[in-house]
Structure 1
């Protein structure tokens, strides 16, 4: 038996042998408040997944409730032949309580301009109700991405739709 494969098919079949740099999360900056007052010393936990790989890092809010997490880039084996589940989650640990402030998930990538803008300047009031947001993906013809968050954003004009999470 003899198979003839185009160079592209051949490259796709064997692409899993090489590692590719992927951005799993942009830089994240924000402020955490409770009843309108900044929370100092709250732990911000970022959990990122790509397929079965999990990456967790954390930071702590300063005296004014501000926090910052760096861009997260990893080298992974990636195949263009299969869809891969990708998730981002941000949680605040305060007084032995864990509160989710951001959740996004889809297949293959979450490296969208809309996510970069929203995560660049967030204000997270822990008593706010969780909202379901629809934000743009990479191209206008792509369906919007659903995100869960209780935060407000400096760049909220890019949000296509907002409703209470039910």
Structure 2
């Protein structure tokens, strides 16, 4: 009767590790932005180190929204960086799943982000729901397929 008062676990983003480079040279001191959306926006940032590496911790929340039978919200993940007056989309995804995707966990654990690469659309196999592949747009590629 009061299920709408219950809070549910919602996975917004796995741990993220990556390297940003331009023409093969690592870029230090860049601010990388992470924007996550579900019931509201969650934003944070990280600074690349001398080797161009950046890191974000896993992000989970508790929300009442999944208890609403009419809710059709999705989890949105966006990683971006500004460099020389241009914004680069490193990773953009949107999924209706409130649970982690193993493909995203693997891909986001070792991203190679080359600013001279064109933005592209990638499709990942969805091990949890094989009939629904996962789409991502951005310039980063997982280090290992």
Structure 2 length-normalised TM: 0.90
1:148 to 118, 126, 137: 137
Tell me, yes or no, if structure 1 residue 74 matches structure 2 residue 91.
no
Q: Counterparts of 2:113 and 2:120 in 1: how far apart (Å)?
A: 12
Q: Counterparts of 1:155 and 1:144 in 2: how far apart (Å)?
A: 18
Q: How does 1:10-49 map to 2 (within 5 A)?
A: 10=1, 14-49=2-37
Residue in structure 2 matched with residue 5 of structure 1 by the alignment: none
Secondary structure of 2:94's counterpart equals: strand
Residue in structure 1 matched with residue 106 of structure 2 by the alignment: 117
Q: Counterparts of 1:149 and 1:99 in 2: how far apart (Å)?
A: 8
| Contact 2:32/2:45 (8 A) holds in 1 | yes
User: What is the root-mean-square deviation in Å for CA atoms of aligned residues?
Assistant: 1.6
Q: Deviations over 1:102-124 (max 9, x none)?
A: 00012243620000000000000
Aligned residues: 142
| Contact 1:43/1:94 (8 A) holds in 2 | no
Q: Counterparts of 2:112 and 2:62 in 1: how far apart (Å)?
A: 31
Q: Counterparts of 1:123 and 1:97 in 2: how far apart (Å)?
A: 19
More displaced, 40-49 or 96-105? 96-105
What residue ranges of structure 1 are gaps of 5+ in the alignment?
1-9, 157-166
RCO higher in 1 or 2 (8 Å CA, sep ≥ 6)?
2
| Contact 2:10/2:99 (8 A) holds in 1 | no
C-alpha change, 1:56 and 1:33, in structure 2 (3 Å) is same
| Contact 2:119/2:137 (8 A) holds in 1 | yes
Q: Deviations over 1:14-73 (max 9, x none)?
A: 33212222220000001000111000001110000004x000010000011000000011
| Contact 1:86/1:110 (8 A) holds in 2 | no
2:77 to 88, 91, 96: 88
Residue in structure 1 matched with residue 129 of structure 2 by the alignment: 139
Q: Which has the larger radius of gyration?
A: 1
Q: Counterparts of 1:133 and 1:154 in 2: how far apart (Å)?
A: 14
